[in-house]
Amino acid sequence: MNKNEVIVFDGLEQEKYLEIINDSVNYALLSIPFTINRIGIDGVQERVLNITKGKFAEKLFSEFCKINDVPINTEPCETPYWKVDKRDFLLKDYEWDLKNHYFYKNESEKLSFENFPALIPNRNKYDQWNKRLVSEHKQFNNAFLFTFIQNATIDNGKRSKPFLEITLNESQIVRLNALNNKYCGCPIESEPYPKEEFLSKFKKMNNQIFVINNLPPLIITAVATKEDWSKFKNTGPLEKNNYFIEYKNGWYKKSKNGTLTFLDNVIFTRINNMTLPIEQLKAFSNFFPLKNLKKAHFLDD
């Protein structure tokens, strides 16, 4: 894809933006006892933030589609908070998994999103890369959509505050830890408690659960389908082959703390991923034509 095929969804009203964040926080609070801590995040507050950010990207993309008449179907993919997540939406003949990554922008540099990495977790044989071969809906093939959201800026080597912070008090942390110990991240067969009652009682402990420092846009880039699988290569802190490392003059670096950092610290990851530069994939705006964007624009506009 080319840089002028990148879509920037940045025209959403603040009220709607805040509604989406609030809904995402609520989902995180409800679902965390039934969600496995796959990447080993320390602390329940950080785990709530991580789940919130994932759900926020999904909901923001759904709002983009609603405004721009992209006929995605999310209903067959929806699961209650006590069940394992499925893929995110159906479109055309594909089941789609939205892969969003948060990035850090150096204030002195212009970003080239076509050079960003398309990352699909590949920690073991049960991870998302291998799941691309299995469809929930037999008549559909699988596809990935890669999006990006700015988490913070970097100025003189220092990060600004992230766009979103979670601020739980001690009573809330104790409550969530108790539920985590009870359910151990395992899905269950029926709703454990009425969600509205749970959220009401939880927020009475401290209503200021999150702080929003800015409203970053959603960057919509490329898609990967079965025609692209053979192009992906494994990358990670311990991967010996160093695939793609010299793409764009040292595309990524391996840090001593066990992370992989792309594009001079713009994006980092601690896990193995199957990886491909975004520019080697089809643009979403090409896969599903969008001519008259609403509350969004192509990058060069």
Walk along the chain (301 residues) and give the pLDDT tens digit of each residue: 999 999 999 999 999 999 999 999 999 999 999 998 776 677 999 999 999 999 999 999 999 999 999 999 999 889 999 998 888 999 999 999 999 999 999 877 788 999 999 999 999 888 999 989 888 777 789 999 999 999 999 887 788 999 999 999 999 999 999 999 999 999 999 999 999 999 999 999 988 899 999 999 999 999 999 999 999 999 998 899 999 999 988 899 998 888 999 998 899 999 999 999 999 999 999 988 898 999 999 998 5
Q: Is residue 37 part of a domain?
A: yes
Residue 119: give the domain boundaries.
Answer: 3-228+276-298
Chain centroid offset of residue 300 CA: 24
**Would you say 113 and 299 are in contact if contact means Cβ atoms under 8 Å apart?**
yes
Q: Is residue 248 part of a domain?
A: no
**What's the pTM value of the predicted model, to 2 decimals?**
0.95
Q: Is residue 173 part of a domain?
A: yes
Q: Is residue 212 part of a domain?
A: yes
pLDDT at residue 109 in the model: 79
Spatial separation of the C-alpha atoms in residues 172 and 85, rounded to whole Å: 24
46-67 burial, b at 16+ Cβ within 10 Å, e below that, comes to ebbbbbbbbbbbbbbbbbbbeb
Domain count, the chain: 1
Q: Show the CA angle centred on residue 143, arms to residues 141 and 146, nearest 5°.
A: 175
Spatial separation of the C-alpha atoms in residues 75 and 11, rounded to whole Å: 25
Q: Is residue 21 part of a domain?
A: yes
**Would you say 115 and 267 are in contact if contact means Cβ atoms under 8 Å apart?**
no
Q: Is residue 245 part of a domain?
A: no
